[in-house]
Structure 1
Amino acid sequence: MTIVFSDLLASGFGSVVGFVLGLVGGGGSILAVPFLVYGVGVASPHVAIGTGTVAVAVSALANLVPHWRSGRVKWRCGAVFALSGVVGALAGAELAKAVDGQRLLMLFGVLMVVVGLVMLRRRGAAGDPDVHLSRATARQLLPRLVAAGFSVGALSGFFGIGGGFLIVPGLMLATGMPLAFAIGTSLVAVSAFGAATASSYAMSGLVDWRLAAIFVLGGLVGGLGGAALGRKLSGRKALLGQIFAGVVITVGTYVLLRGFLA
């Protein structure tokens, strides 16, 4: 595969990831690793994970701004969740680097299938839009946020993903906030998890920075298109979520089959 063709593939797959992030509000980063391994041809799963996390962090920061401007970010809840999750993400990343690359990919495939099935079963967006972390609510909310943040962060670091699809239900369970607020607040943690995991892999020399830059640029372009289409289809978010869940399950199954046949 020539360098030019590889770069075009990286840009194209980055656009797909960004498009999904912009369209359904999160979860597109779970496609980054299999795209980099099977689409672009990155030989090492660990390098694919390290490179993918850079794109995850940048994409999350870019998507955070419009949610912040719309008042859909619970900053205190997001900060506690993110700080707890960074500790978990660093621990998960160190553990992942000690696991065989092919076995790691198969575990990743299992996670994708499970997450897709959970997304298909998820119902409703109700909750308390006024929930917030304060002295009065700290005794109830703080332990839940810390526990949920660390657990989700560990999975995020281990598999090299932003974890938005795990953070959103984690925030809803820990605080009772509505789906729209959980999506916006989750991007605070996704940015932090991605940056922490990318730093860990970068220090081990497991990030292809040139490829990451190309993937990120494609993702930013795709994100604009996804956000624009998402606004037009805002009344059909449930259907879009189900379609994305089906894509996640399909890609996860493919990763598993490749692992079994390897």
Structure 2
Amino acid sequence: MMPDIVSSSLATGSGGLVGLILGLVGGGGSILAVPLLTYVVGVSSPHVALGTSALAVSVSAAGNLIPQARAGHVKWRCAATFSLAGVAGAFAGAAAAKAVDGQKLLALFGVVMLVVGGLMLRERHGGGDPNVRLTARTAPRLLPWLLGIGFGVGLFSGFFGIGGGFLIVPGLILATGMPLTSAIGTSLVAVSAFGAATATSYAVSGQIDWPLAGLFILGGVLGGLAGARLGQRLAGRKRALTVTFAGLVILVGLYVVARGALPLLGANT
């Protein structure tokens, strides 16, 4: 069933906000997708919100991957290995999440938002080996790390229906020693793959609102274009923008924890 005009406008606007933030700060905006779909658009089922969010995140990451690939910032063999392991984890995580009560899942998601907000307040630094490659010679050293960390991050991503870029980027750096610019570009392959795996799991269970997902993605594309242009003008203030957004994520996380926990507290009284 197609959403009404109000829901359509809210879904498109919410997607636009996420895209705008992604364009401005370069990542992390997708963490707002679930609370926006739940509390602004009005998706009643937390599981449907997670499934719909995962689809939108996957499409958004795939779109953002193109300019990163053209710039040569993607380590494709590392990305493929990390993603294959993570997809297995994402399917397992999504299956586990569907068995958890929706309100408990929202409360846990709010806790994740608090952690993400805190991590975003930390400054990222460059460094690393730009020439790192996954080859027959380096495989004994790199493969165990890529497979192990990839599976763990995918499991987390699938459980919470988010891209997990805030874990993928440091995970890739830890596993391979690649520089930050390469880790950011390479992470988009994994974010797209994890989101697609999670969305597929929810789609099989009929827990994706396809019309809302399409509107959310449309808004995200338009917002991303606007955010990229605005981000160029505000390039000198990117750190301030990131700190501001981190504060917003923490505030929304507190709200989500409260909203998710109140029904649980009421059920126990």
- TM-score (normalised: structure 2): 0.93
Q: Does 1:213 align with 2:214?
A: yes
Q: Please report how far the alpha carbon of residue 212 of structure 1 lies from its aligned counterpart in structure 2 after TM superposition.
A: 0.4
Query: Post-superposition, which runs of at least 4 consecutive aligned residues in structure 1 deviate over 4 A?
Result: none
Counterpart CA distance in 2 for 1:240 and 1:173 is: 26
Query: Conserved in 1, the CA contact under 8 Å of 2:104 and 2:261?
Result: no
Query: Conserved in 2, the CA contact under 8 Å of 1:109 and 1:252?
Result: yes
User: 3-state SS of the aligned residue for 2:145?
Assistant: helix
Q: Does 1:110 align with 2:111?
A: yes
Q: Please report how far the alpha carbon of residue 119 of structure 1 lies from its aligned counterpart in structure 2 after TM superposition.
A: 2.2
Counterpart CA distance in 2 for 1:171 and 1:239 is: 26
Q: Which amino acid aligns with 2:185?
A: G
Q: Please report how far the alpha carbon of residue 3 of structure 1 lies from its aligned counterpart in structure 2 after TM superposition.
A: 1.5
* Per-residue Cα deviation, 1:205-243 (whole angstroms, up to 9, x for no partner): 000101100000000001111122223333444333322
User: 3-state SS of the aligned residue for 1:161?
Assistant: coil
User: 3-state SS of the aligned residue for 2:121?
Assistant: helix
Kindly tell me: are residues 229 and 130 of structure 1, through their superposed partners in 2, closer, same or farther at Cα, counting changes over 3 Å?
farther
Give the corresponding residue for 1:178.
179
Give the corresponding residue for 2:79.
78
Q: Which amino acid aligns with 2:38?
A: V
Give the corresponding residue for 1:46.
47
Q: Please report how far the alpha carbon of residue 163 of structure 1 lies from its aligned counterpart in structure 2 after TM superposition.
A: 1.1
- Does 217-226 or 174-183 show the bigger shift? 174-183
User: 3-state SS of the aligned residue for 1:56?
Assistant: helix
* Per-residue Cα deviation, 1:171-195 (whole angstroms, up to 9, x for no partner): 1111122221111111000110011
Q: Please report how far the alpha carbon of residue 98 of structure 1 lies from its aligned counterpart in structure 2 after TM superposition.
A: 0.2
Q: Which amino acid aligns with 2:251?
A: T
Query: Conserved in 2, the CA contact under 8 Å of 1:26 and 1:183?
Result: no
Q: Which amino acid aligns with 1:164?
A: G
Counterpart CA distance in 2 for 1:11 and 1:220 is: 10
Q: Please report how far the alpha carbon of residue 100 of structure 1 lies from its aligned counterpart in structure 2 after TM superposition.
A: 0.1
Counterpart CA distance in 1 for 2:91 and 2:160 is: 11
Query: Conserved in 2, the CA contact under 8 Å of 1:90 and 1:197?
Result: yes
Query: Conserved in 2, the CA contact under 8 Å of 1:125 and 1:178?
Result: yes
Counterpart CA distance in 1 for 2:136 and 2:78 is: 13
Give the corresponding residue for 2:192.
191
Give the corresponding residue for 1:31.
32
Q: Please report how far the alpha carbon of residue 122 of structure 1 lies from its aligned counterpart in structure 2 after TM superposition.
A: 4.2
Kindly tell me: are residues 233 and 74 of structure 1, through their superposed partners in 2, closer, same or farther at Cα, counting changes over 3 Å?
farther
Counterpart CA distance in 1 for 2:131 and 2:207 is: 42
Q: Which amino acid aligns with 1:212?
A: A
Structure 2 unpaired stretches of 5+ = 264-269
Q: Please report how far the alpha carbon of residue 141 of structure 1 lies from its aligned counterpart in structure 2 after TM superposition.
A: 1.2
Counting aligned pairs with the same residue, the percent is 66
- TM-score (normalised: structure 1): 0.95
